[in-house]
Structure 1
Amino acid sequence: MPDNWDWVARKRNSVLRWGRITWYLSCKYAGDEEAFRRKFQLSGEQASKYSIHGGAIPIRVPGVEGIVGIVIVSGVAQEEDHGVIYDVIKNNWDKREV
């Protein structure tokens, strides 16, 4: 759906600014976007660029500074968006490759 592109952009912006999984942000602020906005003193326009809904996870590489990529899922409930990413990483990550 076209709106999913907006959700993807907002989730991406949140990960880049706060360096956290969006599910963490959602849990920390109990899904309360207004409390989140107030905490960081974001105007309504600024807040519209971010989302604390689950579904975006930063990718970091040992020895490399910062975030090198972000995995983002949008289109179902935020728990499911996050769960899709979690399941793929859990089932496909081989720590011997690191």
Structure 2
Amino acid sequence: MPPTPAEDAAHILLQEQTLTLEQFDASVAWTLGSMLHAMAVERHYVLVIDIRRFGRPIQPLFYAALPGTTPDNARWARRKSNVVGRYHRSSYAVGLRLEAQGQTLTQRHALPASQYATHGGSFPIAVPAAGGVVGAITVSGLTSREDHELIVEALCRHLGHDYKALRLR
């Protein structure tokens, strides 16, 4: 039996609490982005990868658009990343919570859909020693759940965690 949205939401919280970094800089962004790129090419995925550090201004640290993507993929990535920047939660977790409430981000928080997307595929880059969420790692091109899980898999590889234990069921 497939998991319920509530079960996914609870498991995403565990993912977010577990998949934190000791540090985050351009070198780490390059390592994670390159890993995601290699995974996507190997699997013949058509997607965009965007890794950024939050602040004023936002600092893009890694970007790749695989063959077959369109400018819409880049816009989706930016909109999903904006959700992480605002709520410090994965875009998928925010979307599942709103879905359970029967609301959209526009209805609940008056945020424009042109700037925010609560679809899966953006995950917070949390560095506890730096005070929490400092950026986002985002992919766009697969389904919401697949975009989310690709990032989780890459973070597990990078951090040495067992992906089978942390993946969504």
- Unaligned 5+ residue runs, structure 1? none
Deviations 1:18-59 (A, max 9, x none): 1110110121122899632111123xxx33100000000111
- Tell me which stretches of 4 or more aligned residues in structure 1 moved more than 6 Å: none
Structure number having the greater strand percentage = 2
- Tell me the SS of whatever aligns to 1:47: coil
Q: Is 1:5 paired with 2:71? A: no
Identity, % of aligned positions: 34
CA distance in 1, matches of 2:102, 2:79: 12
Distance 1:50 1:33, change over 3 A: farther
Partner of 2:99: 30
How much is the aligned-residue C-alpha RMSD, in angstroms?
Answer: 2.2
Aligned length: 92
**Cα 1:26–1:9, aligned 2, differ >3 Å: closer, same or farther?**
same
SS class of match (2:123): strand
Which sections of structure 2, spanning at least 5 residues, go unmatched?
1-69, 162-169
TM-score norm. by structure 2 comes to 0.49
State how far apart, in whole Å, the 2-side matches of 1:92 and 1:14 are.
24
TM-score, length basis structure 1: 0.80
